[in-house]
């Protein structure tokens, strides 16, 4: 997982244009292809179990992500990276590493994985 996350960060640093806004109206939060794919996989699994739990998960996740800018100080440095530029959001048993691009005032959602998957 660490390697995939590092590849996404490198891809962002090399070509920022490849990353899409998490919400179309919010250009300061962008997501990687890895994040998008992993989120869809999680939602698909949750939908199989219970459609309402998938909707609830996504709604709560959206709320956390939308509000991440105002709570940036509360997030710990990522377990997947060295340094302070990548932090982790923990949400409902998942970890979302994100990169803080201060120069562009952008936050990059690199991936989403189970909390116990730190390899």
Question: pLDDT at position 57, please?
Answer: 93
Exposed / middle / buried, residue 15 (Cβ in 10 Å: 0-12, 13-18, 19+): exposed
Position 38 scores a pLDDT of 96
Instruction: Classify domain 2-114 by CATH number.
Output: 3.30.2310.20
- pLDDT digits 0-9 by tens, 35-59: 999 999 999 999 999 889 899 999 9
Q: Which pTM value belongs to this model?
A: 0.89
Q: Taking phi first (over 0 means left), then psi (-120 to 50 degrees means alpha), and beta for anything else, what does residue 67 get?
A: alpha
Domain limits of the chain?
Answer: 2-114
* Cβ proximity of 79 and 41 under 8 Å: no
């Amino acid at each position: 997982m660490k390697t995939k996350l590092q590849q996404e960060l490198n891809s962002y640093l090399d070509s920022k244009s490849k990353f899409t806004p998490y919400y179309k109206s919010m250009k300061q939060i962008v997501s990687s292809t890895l994040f998008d794919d992993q989120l869809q996989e999680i939602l698909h699994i949750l939908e199989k179990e219970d459609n309402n739990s998938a909707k609830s998960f996504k709604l709560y996740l959206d709320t956390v992500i939308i509000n991440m800018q105002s709570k940036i100080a509360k997030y710990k440095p990522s377990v997947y990276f060295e340094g302070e530029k990548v932090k982790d959001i923990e949400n409902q048993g998942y970890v979302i590493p994100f990169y803080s691009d201060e120069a562009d005032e952008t936050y990059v959602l690199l991936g989403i994985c189970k909390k116990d998957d730190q390899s």
